[in-house]
Amino acid sequence: MADSSLEITCRGCALLCDDLLIDDDQTGRLNCPNAVAWLKAAKSRLATPPALPADHSERMQQAAELLKQAKRPLFAGWQGLSLAAETAAIQLAEAFHGYVSLGNNRAQILASQRYGGAACTWGEVRHRADLILCGQCDPFSSLSRFDERIVQPEGRFRAKGESARVVYLGEAADKLPAEQYDDIIALPENQLESALLELRRLLADVPSRTNKPVSELPAEVLAQLKTLAESLDDAAYPVLLTAGGDGCSLQWTKMVRETNDRSRLHRVSVPAGPATGNPSESLLAWTGFPDAVRFSDTGIEHDLDRFQPETLIQNEAVDLLVFTAGVLTPRWSSFLKTLPANLPIIALVEQDLKLPELASPVITLEAGVLGQQTGGDMLRSDGIPLPLRPFAPDESTSLEQLLRELLPN
């Protein structure tokens, strides 16, 4: 039975709210659809005590044998892992001289490597931000408590009674909760990059005669971009929120870099869906690279082109996939469906995760759900580690334990 007085951390979205109180029926005492959805699966599972499959030991032995035989294993996924599990996954890849490909956006990685960044935490957004620019993302929809936890609270370092001004810049603005935004700059389809080029021009200290406005943008949008540029210049603590995947990673990153050359602009990632941790940070700390590496006897090789998961599969460069995840994102679900039938797979997944139907032979090793049955720390999207205490602990094995059991003695 769950402890009804326990305050837990919810993995329902990227905010990782740590003030969720659990009721006796595991529905939670917060009016948050993300939290309710995350707890719904727990309610049915907790009614029946979990048990290891009868052939669990046999599966572990088969997985260990496959790893020993593999010459070019690929380690991928790593979404929804604890920090300890991310570390164990890296150690396993290193021990078996494998590829690690986290499937991150290549353009975004290159932009970050070349231009750097200026990150901040959700706490800083809450207490300091006076202007929040939502770049092609809607945090009010993806983060159910964004308004309650970030926008509405009185910031400790803002003037009394003042809240952050929230502006949306992007396409598909007709789907937004318009009442939540102070201003919406709705762009025509396929005009995001043009708008960002114009915004960068407006923010740059260059004569307009040498950098003409983008003519294809409507006059109303050009006027709104001019006002936004002035607001960004005047703001004491402006913050840019982006979700990635919009094809403009380079433009967003350049804008942050150029703005910080003259004033200030911070940036926070707002991934959609459940909290996934931040395996790129762990891999970066371990290897010096955030993605796409190969371990070997001679060191670590990094190649964002050759070591993309799809490229490795297409080139028949791997002979085993070790897929580890607590959350199955659309990106990885699509990847798994394309695998050839002759590629063996070791899948280390939480009990709630349902793999798509696969043509490849799969050895599935199940673990308890982090934050429900097992505990550990997870990195929030802003890089802050938060503890996930299990509110219904049992004898389930954690993903970290499974990974460490596969390490060679």
The Cα angle at residue 131 between residues 273 and 204, in degrees rounded to 5: 105
Give the pLDDT of residue 206: 57
Alpha carbons 141 and 139: distance in angstroms, whole number: 5
- The pLDDT tens digits for 325-384 are 999 999 999 999 999 999 999 999 998 889 999 988 999 999 999 998 999 999 998 889
At residue 310 the predicted structure's pLDDT band, cuts being 50, 70 and 90, is very high
CA dihedral 41→46→49→54, nearest 10 degrees, is 10
Residue 43 CB: number of other CB atoms within 10 A?
14
Strands of the 131-135 sheet, one edge to the other: 183-186, 165-170, 131-135, 238-242, 266-269
Cα 145 from Cα 103, distance rounded (Å): 28
Q: Which of 70-84, 140-154, 203-217 has the lowest mean pLDDT?
A: 203-217
CB atoms within 10 A of CB 177: 11
Asked if residue 157 has pLDDT above 90, the reply is: no
- Cα separation, 322 vs 74, whole angstroms: 6
Q: In this model, does residue 52 exceed pLDDT 70? A: no
Q: What is the DSSP string of 57-124?
A: HHHHHHHHHHHHH-SSEEEEEEET--HHHHHHHHHHHHHTT-EEE----HHHHHHHHHH---B--HHH
Q: Could you tell me which residue, 2 or 344, shows the higher pLDDT?
A: 344
List, in sequence order, every residue forming a beta bridge with 135; answer none if it has no partner: 169, 242
Dist. CA 244–CA 136, nearest whole Å = 9
2 — pLDDT class (breaks 50, 70, 90)? very low
pLDDT at 393: 85
d(CA 122, CA 328): 25
119-264: CATH topology is Dimethylsulfoxide Reductase; domain 2 (3.40.228)
Q: Taking residues 103-127, what's their average pLDDT? A: 81
pLDDT at 404: 97
pLDDT of 161: 77
Provide the β-strand partners of residue 73.
Answer: 320
Number of Cβ within a 10 Å radius of residue 183: 14
What lies within 8 Å, CB to CB, of 227 at 6+ separation is 183
Question: CA torsion angle for 395, 401, 406, 409 (degrees, to 10)?
Answer: -110
Assess whether pLDDT exceeds 70 at residue 114: yes
CATH class of 56-105+276-405: alpha beta
Residue 232 belongs to what H/E stretch? helix 219-234
Q: How far apart are CA 378 and CA 384, in angstroms?
A: 8
Mean of per-residue pLDDT scores for the chain:
88
Quick check: 176 and 184 in contact, CB under 8 A? yes
Banded pLDDT at 249 (limits 50, 70, 90): confident
Instruction: Read off the pLDDT of each residue in 7-15 and give the average, rounded to a whole number.
Output: 87
Bridge partners (DSSP) of residue 26 are: none
The residue whose two tokens read 């607001």 is: 231
Tokens of 48: 């029946």
Task: In whole angstroms, give the CA distance from residue 277 to residue 379.
Answer: 5
φ, ψ of residue 240 to 5 degrees: the values are -105, 130
Task: Specify burial of residue 262 (Cβ count, 10 A radius: 0-12, 13-18, 19+).
Answer: exposed
Give span(s): CATH 3.40.228.10, the chain: 119-264
Residues in contact with 409: Cβ distance below 8 Å, sequence separation at least 6, in sequence order: none
**Which residues make up the CATH 3.40.50.740 domain(s) of the chain?**
56-105+276-405
Using CA atoms, how far apart are residues 115 and 112, in angstroms rounded to an integer?
5
Least confident of 44-48, 168-172, 184-188, 230-234: 44-48
Cross-strand partners of 295: 300
Cβ pair 356, 337 in contact under 8 A: yes
pLDDT at 311 over 50: yes
From CA 168, how far away is CA 240, in angstroms rounded?
10
Task: Report residue 119's pLDDT band, with 50, 70 and 90 as the boundaries.
Answer: confident
